[in-house]
Structure 1
Amino acid sequence: MSRMKSPLMFLLILTTITFATDHVCCQSIYASENPLPVGSNVTLYSQAVVTTGVWMFETNLIVMIFPGSIIIHDTWRDRVSYNSTSSALTIKSLRLGDSGLYTLQTVNSFRGQLTLSVQVPISNVTLKARATNLVEFNDTAVLMCSVSSGSSLSYVWLKGHHEVTAGGNVQLSNGNATLTIVSVTLYDEGPFKCSVSNGVSNEISPSVYLNISYGPSNTTMIIMPMVSPYIYRTGSNIMLSCTTVSKPPAMIQWMYNGMYLNEYGSQIQLYNITESDSGSYKCVFHNTVTSRFSSVSSMLWMLDPLEVVVVNHTGGPPILHEPFTLHCEVTGTVDRIQWWRNWQLISPNDTIIFNMNNKTMTFNPVQYSDNGQYRCQAFNSVSNMTSSPYTVDVKYGPGMPTIMGPSVAKTGYSITFSCHASSNPPSHYRWYFNDYPVANTSEYVTPPLTRNMSGMYTCLAYHDITGQNKTAYTMLTVVDPIEDVQVETTMYPPKEGYPYMLTCNVTGPADYIYWMKDGMKLHKDNRTVFNMDNKTVTFNPLKRNDTGYYNCMAMNAVGNMTSPPHKLLVYFGPETPVIHMPSFAETGQFVTFTCSAMSVPPSQISWWFNGTEVANTSVFTTHCLSLNMSGEYTCMAYNNVTGKNSTSFKMLTVIEAIESVMIKNNTIPIDTESFTLTCEVVGPYDMIYWMKDDMYLNINSSDANPHMHYHIENDTLHFTPVTMYNDGSYRCVAANQAAKHKSPTYMLLVNCEYCRKQC
């Protein structure tokens, strides 16, 4: 370690470092503690090791660092030590003046800086107040905080355990060392402290207590029992209590109607009150320290309860559509009256009117809905009373009578007429037949009816209370019943294409007749016509689809009757016969012909060959055919009811029969050699085709199997060559226009020497 003796050398190094800082990066410097108290030691260090550089305080050099050597400035030599291994700088016995910016600078490498704070510890914190006994709103509190020693001081004010901050009536001055509370309130009362701190110490002053005198204020009166408004029932007991907020406690005195009473407590009691106790009650508070007064008063009324409430009416009973009035009679002082119907509150409307402060309720006019239980309820401030129920039973009627009973009835039967008219109480009734009285009850049962009892039946309803009456009438028609209905006809037989008529014969009076076919109503159309008030139905012309079961239904006012079903079977035909037979047949065979024709009843069938009858049945089987039996075969159908006949014919051609079909061959089938099969036919034929394994042989099928090659030429099947894939059963078929003839089965088994050796 060397002393710095050459100012020139120092200047050159410092200049080099200074100009090199334009290209260096920043590093962090750390302190063993920061801030620190005066007289303590601190070590400054960096994470990088410096071989060439300087430690500086503000702009002053502390240490110059060289590879293998350092130079400490004279002003720091006694208090500084440097650790070359870690580049750490230790400063001892710190002074206030050691606070500031410390820099570690290397040549062309990095720069690190740290601001160090050295502080004087705080001691002997004291708190003083200009005055501690204060009056709310009148006085201002001033508190001053001081210390014997300390630097970098920070002040915090506390009331109890809560911090006090500036705002409202609170002011902080003298660097927060002075607290001023302008116009103190009761909420400013309590212990105050000041807390002083810096980075190295903290101390709280002893408490100073502010004693605030206040009030009286927030004065209230409580009256028990509590009612609103203050109206009390006579005979009750009342207690009045007053409270206020005051320090010291305020004095109290009571007043009644502006006069002081000999009452000095916070409560007074009124027993068995009467109406003469009504008036203004006041309590007055006085604080001798603040010299302030406060009072509160209440107006009390004492009232007798209601005694009797009764509902009555004047005049006659409540009659529908006439005025009616109810009265509410009350004994005692009444504030208001309300009316109830069936415990539903009543409000005035177009027909309900209240008068005399609701003491009377008038219905003008009375309606059906006004029936019910009515009560009036009277109120005053200390009581309410409801009358006993008064029943309003609206008298009305009679309304227009309603007659129940038939308008048409059968002769020989009795019927019942009933009459009812809306009425309260029920009306009286009388019955009249053609203006002649027949009964004086609401129901009238006739004797057994005759036709001369048709006419007008009148009901008279009358009411004793309302004095009103109403009449209604009904007409009764007495009718004979229908006794029998039958469907008949005079036309037979019913043949298609001719007119046909059905008649509905009815025993008894019929108002209307309906026709039905198979249970469905029959409607007229361009060939179905109804005549004689539907008594007859005519089909012109009759068609086969008119076949069915027919009924006619006769109706009158007292009932209906339907005839038994009448079966209508329409005869028609025959239609053109339909023949089933072949067009070609072979000699020596038998042919069966069938013939049918649409016809009711079924037609008689006859067969004709070349103009000669050969059979008289629908099925005709020929004898053994020969060539001369070719020709025209005719079927004739004849309906013996309609007298009509119809014919149809077909041609039969008899050809010579094929007698036999055989397969022949003259060689042995050897694998891979040519082979032929020949179809020999005895008799004329039109074509020949071949079958293999009961399947028609298609000469193009060899294209699908490369091992099979064959073709057909005339009646010969050529295999070119034959292979074991051609093995199977073969048949040839000879066909003409009448039939197909198959040969017996020929089994083809191809010889294969090579195949047997393989096996």
Structure 2
Amino acid sequence: MLTRNVQPSSNPAVVGDTLTLSLSPPTNMKSGSWAVGESLILTWIRDQEAVFPNHTGRASVNVLTGALTLRSVTAADSGVYVVQSSDPQLRANASITVLERISNVTLMAKQTDFVEFNSPAIVACSVSSGSSLSFLWLNGSSEVTAGERVQLTDGNSTLTVINVTRYDRGPFRCRVSNPVSNGTSDPVNLNIIYGPDNMALTVEGSFSVGYNLTMLCSTQSNPPAQLQWAFRGEFANTTGPLLELYGITEDQSGPYSCLAFNNHTNMNSSITSHITITSEFLSEAISASIFLNVFPASLFPWFVSTESPSSGSKQQAVSGPFRCNVSNGVSYETSPPLYLNIIGPSNTTMMITPVVPNHVYRTESNITLSCSALSKPSAIISWMFNGVDMNIYGHWIHLNNVTVSNSGNYTCVSHNTVTSRSRSAHAVIYVLDPLESVEVNNTGGAAIVNESFTLHCDVTGTVDRIQWWRNWHVIIPDNTTIFDMDNKTLTLDPVQHSDAGNYKCQAFNSVSNMTSSPYNVVVIYGPETPTITGPTVGRAGYSVIFSCYASSNPPSLYSWYFNGNPVANTSVYITPPLSEDMSGTYTCKAYNNITDGDSSTYLCFVSEPITEVHVETPLNPPRDHYPYMLTCNVTGPAVHFHWIKNGMELHGDSGHVFQMHNETLTFNPLNRNESGQYKCMALNAVGNMTSPPYELLVNLANTSMFTTDCLSLNMSGEYTCMAYNNVTERNSTTSKMLTVVGKKTQGNRLDNCKSGFFNSGRVTFLNVLIWSVMIKNSTRPINSENFTLTCEVTGPYDTLYWTKNNTRLNVTNPYYHTENNMLHFTAVTTLDDGTYECVATNKAGEHKSPKFMLLVNYGPLKVEISGLYFHPVDLTVSMECSADSRPECDFYWFLDNESSAVIHTGSVITLIATKLSQGNYICVAKNPVTNITMYKTKEYVIGGLMMMGLFALSVPVLFT
């Protein structure tokens, strides 16, 4: 085998350019083929080339050097190009890249509003044009790379941020580049809803009676939180960030709380500050008592309000004000008033911050419990846990980095040492570990079509609920999708093609939720019944190409067999030069090494040409009014036969019956008008051959004198007498013309019925009548091709003319002309559609043919794909293909390229509305009469459409 390299004219090539792939060093090649991947581009043998439909009009080959030329290349032309030849033996390949310049870089987010930690953000980057794309993501000015929370999929064109946070708001940009161009999208901002959290409370002003206090509350929240103030656990009539207190009193001492609520997240948070307001009078009273101790006087009268207290009164029940009147011999002084309150404890309340639903906290959280009570003097606060004294005193208790063991019943006890009274408040706190890991596993085998397949959601941590996702959509159970073990297992029974995709399980508890990494389920199937593409006959000395395809995942392994013997292990089989012993059955077998399934199909192939054709007759002579049969005897394989009489092709009617693919022609019965020259043509894909003419003479009598029956108009014609000598085995013939004239009556018989006889001379009647006029055609009318109508007249006529739509045709029209009894169209078009009549005239008058409707076959002129039409009942979409054509086209659907297997026939195709159905759907419309084929491509993607590509092709017959 020769060693050669493929040398491209440019690599990478630019979309729209012409690309030439040459062999280095140059090599003379008599035959070979070019393919890209597994798709054949063209083949050639000597000076004949055959271009496959997906490259028609764009590909050609230099049949001497094997150089391939591709015009108007597209990005889809990228791939590994392989050239191989059997004369000489060689195989070479090269990887070619075709790049398209980038334009219109666009970012599209499925949604832009998110709740923090609750859902993923998905942003897709796309371009209007461009190939071999590289994607770079930016958040602000920082590059975004894949990580624990960030996924880059679909070739990095899709950015997924798992459980978005407030720091993921953007702006996001996508920068796309390839070796020849680049572009950057407009920014996209995300609205992250979060909070309230990180609260702060500041107090400004004096804590003394009579002064003013201002409290400012702040929190982090989007949208801004609603703020509500509370005092001693009860809501105050104040909202907003500011709480202002004017002329404060001691009664306003206590816990002040700011509560924040976000009506989008439905979350709340709070912060509490304990404020103690003191009286200046107390310090002055103490100073006075100290002064009195230093300067004793003789009299210390006490007054409550304006009265002096009785010596036996209960002082602790009196609130005051108390005054002390001090005097001596030279002066008199009264102290400022002193108020004395001895109450409580009452209104003992406990607050827990941060505020969370049901007091369920995540481990490692910091929790503050605060206790307040209305008491004079201030109550002593002690704490208990699950009924056991904690030996902790004070208004606050801080639980830092809590664990599960901190769960329990907390009680605060307030005690007034003067009144000896106690009150308590309690609350139950729950501490849970967050989920540590969530993973999807499969303990069974692969997902094989029509078998059962189970996925398990393995969770580390306490879980309340599990939810499954497939391709970003929540999975709803149905008769083939089954959940078990509180949704921890998902069973597909049976597996279907549509079950392929990325599966995730999401686990929830009260303090966290976690989603697993995607588990890609690849559905294994096939192989389905293979399809063989290739000829059924071939010419000796030439190679032919068979291509086999069977839908399968993983892709099928292929084997070729000739009459049961292996000949190749590839999907494409190129035969050696054909010989007659290579006719037989070629079988393609496809095998899937995972399902252990196989499927096969076969093609009967003949490589023999037709070598001889002649017309064979039965032993009995052809007699008028008796059945008779002609047989086309062929040496070699024939697919079809045509019969020709006097140069005109015969068609089946009540008098002519074709059998065995037209191999036999039966006259039932034979009549004298069937006399003439008959030929048969045998055809196969290799070629055709026509027999020598056979002269059929209908035998009317076996005597020296022939007397006709009562004459009828159809008895006009040439009568031949043959004399035969049995000894010499020689014969001689002579002929006479008989013209039957007269007035036609019912049954085509003549008035005053007469008989004629032949001995010598001629029989003639006057006033000739035409018996019948018929319009016939030997070919089908195809737009822009030549077409002929023939007027067959039974009986003598003088002139003949044609009418269209009851109007006589103008014989000077350049687009048609008459010749003898024929009307020639050069060439026929749809403008020639109409009703035609042939009118034959003689001295007896005019005779019109039955009306002949001419409808010219054309097209397809254009092909359209309409849709997509969504059907919500069965979650399918449909597309409809239509073509301007006469007759109606046959429609074939392909996915991604025309060389693939036909996935559907008919004008309407229905798809399951899943991502697996995405792709370029190609409708091939073929006119069965004109043999013209046109293609239309429509891309189906979830959430969008793209129209692309229109190609037309007249399909040639190869190697004829």
Larger radius of gyration: 1
Q: Taking CA–CA contacts closer than 8 Å with sequence separation of 6 or more, which of the two structures ends up with the larger relative contact order?
A: 1
Does the pair score TM above 0.5? no
> Scaled by the length of structure 2, what TM-score is found?
0.28
TM-score normalised according to structure 1 size: 0.35
